[in-house]
Amino acid sequence: VSCISDDNQSEEIMECLKQTHGMPPLVQECTVPCREDCTFTTWSKFTPCSRNCEATQSRRRQLT
């Protein structure tokens, strides 16, 4: 984030914060519609089991 004055010059962030309600959010919800219906890839193989099989296994897929 940068702070620019009315005459297009860089300003110190603290000067801008004095006149605003704080910094903008780091994350914003995206509301742009997809061009097509989204789909998932097939599931990956399960991760290997540990020697004593006391851990959990997982698998993944991606949204495309």
Domain tally, the chain: 1
Q: SS3 letters for 4-56?
A: ECCCCCEECHHHHHHHCCCCCCCCCCCCCCCCCCCCECCCCCCCCCCCCCCCC
Whether 26 maps to a domain, the answer reads: no
Whether 8 maps to a domain, the answer reads: no
pTM: 0.36
What range defines the domain where residue 47 resides? 34-64
Give per-residue pLDDT as tens, 1-56. Answer: 677 778 888 888 787 777 777 777 777 777 777 677 778 889 899 888 877 777 77
Partners of 40 in beta bridges: 63
Whether 11 maps to a domain, the answer reads: no
